[in-house]
Chains A and B, each alone.
Chain A
């Protein structure tokens, strides 16, 4: 093996480089993963601050704090930042950290590409900030189109729209490169004996996520490129005056936008597939069916996009197809839920913070599933379309489904990443605080939506005041809870009870990943000689 070691020396250093070079030139999957996670944490507060602006404005009817244009810009950027800046980088950070450790690989397959895909993120983030600032420095009107960027309104905005298109290009390239890297790593870098069907569920989940991203991200990049062409190069892809059709953009957008929901969701399902067996002290129930369920979910997710567009005037047959396809999605999702419940069945359960989040996700995500089936039904959706009911639905899907899953992952792997146990008491306080305030924030929005309150409007009728006041109070408390989250993370990084290789008294012994065979924190280089999996 001496020859192998020699070729290795070309690009890997056997001692950690120090200073800023360690981070800027990093090709180490753990360091890059850490940078991804910190970037996501920063964006969580940035996007969260925007949500606070939105809720402050909606605290009472009438205009109080911000102009309608700025309000519209805030909900546009809140969505884009939370999706592209927070959830996706956080999930990618976990993938970077955990996938090589779980499958026994020394690093990602393409470490330099990994460096590039991270450093495109801050560039994209900067571009997004410029897009927000542009209207104040003579760049025309702000982007007020919402994250869906529908023309014609997105064609009419000023320079900030161009900056936003470039933001999407940069963030899109970043996630495409990261996905190529993950697919390549999973297919080629597994330790001997780690067959595909032995991989931890988190790796499978990310494998499907990466495939989805490779398929949808370029199509979306194409769509926004057409927007750019329409704005500056005289084409008429979406401009009706020149024979184009704005509805075409909606199809392009949702061809990306619907699978994107599963891009956000699947990594968290993967985390649940690790957390639940650990704290139930039982192997995962129905591993194979979960893998195939995710494959089915990803495939089905690709072909139901137009359920976001029932109101644009499709033929009755098209809406029927999209309705049935959408309702079918409840089958793989239901399967996953039952598998997780059966994993807990008669297990020796303990309720550490990650497990509390996992159980809460199963309950609250089921709620999003129920409202999702309601929204999938065409005649009902014509009523709910673009009301706060939809806002409540997708926040119930994405906050428990994606964000709480990532929180569960953070608490689950913090001891591994930092080498210190997090403060269990504070973790539990954080769990109850977020879960309760999340429900206070978004549950009333079901009612205001059913009563007819439209989304994406700065003002509302006085009959919705009570619901909105409750919602805003909940949102402020929900936002505040994240300061505790930040405190817990900093406290854990700084110190705390040293974590063994297997925290929680070896509860995770039954999980198939190799991450628990390395010490906490893992050394800078791991698995330089491939481990053997029996």
Chain B
């Protein structure tokens, strides 16, 4: 665990349950993230990882249980207080979610212009610094449609950290990136987190890259946390789920087949 502030938790989930209508997604999740930490939440597709991230970002409210960010219970925040909280959060969406009607510079300047009354020259300097940090100062006048997937995500990252957030949320930051962009993005996440003294939570299923850069890992399956530990502990783990996930085995606790009646039963109609 990171030594910076191991006793100060920034995000705490306590018995969180969540359902979309009848369909239960999370069934009692406990999770803690400390300042200075980069934490990965892993699990197969559709296991409730993204829902977890949305709960922490306050986009969804927990059915029961408590989601606490910086000591405040998100379930009881007014819209205004929630917006005040989000000014201190940054979120990187899976495909960047850049505003397509603005160029790179204006995208990164957006949160600064919306939330501060800084003079234009200062905004310009800040934007250039953020773009420099992600290596895209030279791309400032390009439109999002002119960027590659990896570049778009780096611009979105610069935009997400524009207001120096205390908490960064990443939704599948590595999905669909080439190996170079992938390791660049990974390093940026670590570096920005350490430079800002923030905490970062990323939802991912990219095991190898994540284990290299995070401080702690939670495994989610079927709406509960099935395993957790430092990357070292995870690599050594004998838990069948963790083993299957880390070694990418096709069958194990996570079945290859979507639940269905036996094949023979379903083929009867054809045979007859």
Binding partners A and B: no
